[in-house]
Chains A and B, each alone.
Chain A
Amino acid sequence: MTDTGRLDLETVVRIERVTRRFGSTTALDDVSLSVPRGAVFGLVGVNGAGKTTLLRHVLGLLKAQTGRVRVFGLDPVADPVGVLSKIGYLSEEKDLPDWMRVDELLHYSRAFYSSWDDRYAEELRQTFDLDPAKKIEQLSRGQRARAGLLVALAYRPELLVLDEPSSGLDPIVRRDILAAIIRTISEEGRTVLFSSHLLDEVERVCDRVTMIDEGRIVLSGELDQLKGSYRCLTVHFDAPQSHPPAIAGALAWEGGGHEWSAVCNARCDALQAAAAAAGARIVEQRVPSLDEIFVAQVGKKCPVPVGE
């Protein structure tokens, strides 16, 4: 249903069966995914799930131990210049040179990119209200994030990679970051790959989502299709029950007595039949939010951080 359906065939990032170990820890376990041109691709998972490790492979900062990584058809480790010149990158802790002033940072950064757009950089600087004479170390956390975002955007990269961009930031800076994502994809053919644990943000802007947990892909697909394959179900029993009903596809039950609710990965008609067979009737049924799906899929093992 996307307007860029024609371009969807073009893959900007392709990761094939990548496994990565740090000592005895498996950070990525047989991960494959592809990001089509023009997509807003959301990578979700709890802290430590492997999101940053995956993004570092895309940037060529880590070499795949097994498997293959291609960005714009190139190997980011073998051809860092070819790949990085097309990527804008912002991480949670952007390493900006603290001793530089904002205007020096812009002057310094523009030297690296032939496509640097002075007018756009200035426009962003004004929008973000960044004082050119201020030193980076004097900036607030939010203003630092804006400075990092400016540098990531000003050369109009074909691929914007954001690693937990809004983590720990106030709602106003988060708005700026989301708006920047939207502006980026509004420009034909640009692609965004970002990781986040703020699932309402992911749900707003992403068209594709991959959920990773303990280095493994748990779920992956188009957001609409993914959400459409889940139901949040509430069933009612005439007599109170001490145990939740056995319904295939139900991920985690909540409630007790007469009413039980669960996020289910199953089709409506199958659920209807299963509920009837268990002696219950469905009193409520709706499409769950991404947050609910996430909690149902991986939340049992580790608590999901709620937005700061």
Chain B
Amino acid sequence: MHIRITSSDGIPIYLQIVNQVKYLVASGRLSPGEELPPIRVLAEQLLVNPNTVARAYRELEMAGAVTKRRTAGTYVSQRGSPLERRERLRILTERVDALLAEARQMDVTVDQVFELIRRRDEKMQPGEKQE
């Protein structure tokens, strides 16, 4: 699992981990059922406070992206997160708003944004990235 932390852009470190794990899952680089590294191991690898990794894992668990198994270990959830559809749409709406605002400021039309989204989606198809 490859994660990069930067402390220069102001995004909290736990959120950087959350976002990147979600991205790795969405792009198929982490498969359902795959185990995430233990908190201590990832903390030492990224050189961040273990509490920060623990917080990221908790957020991911709450978002339904990962599941904690009783014996120990955190695993990527099987498809179909338990997150309410409305909640999922709410999260996405925030992102879309931010994207549209930025597009407007840059004089990029909504159609061009659609086209960009379609192209990125093709790039992100899991099957094509696997070796």
Contacts and interface: CB of A to CB of B under 8 A. Distances in A.
Chain A interface helix/strand/loop/mixed? helix
Interface in B4-35: 5, 7-13
A206 B52 CA distance: 10
B9 A3 contact: no
A224 B44 contact: no
Nearest to B49: A205
B7 A289 contact: yes
Contacts of A141: none
B88 to A, nearest CB: 24
A290 B48 contact: no
Contacts of B50: 182, 185-186
Contact of B10 (A40, A186, A288): A288
- Chain A interface size, as a band, is 20 to 34
Contacts of B10: 227, 232, 286-289, 292
Contacts, number: 63
B27 to A, nearest CB: 25
B52 to A, nearest CB: 8
B47 A182 contact: yes
A291 B5 CA distance: 15
28 contacts: A1-B55, A3-B54, A4-B51, A40-B49, A178-B47, A182-B40, A182-B44, A182-B47, A182-B48, A182-B50, A183-B40, A185-B50, A186-B44, A186-B50, A199-B7, A200-B7, A200-B8, A203-B13, A204-B7, A204-B46, A205-B48, A205-B49, A207-B51, A227-B12, A287-B12, A289-B10, A290-B7, A291-B8
Interface of A: 1-4, 40, 175, 178-179, 182-183, 185-186, 199-200, 203-207, 224, 227, 232, 283, 286-292
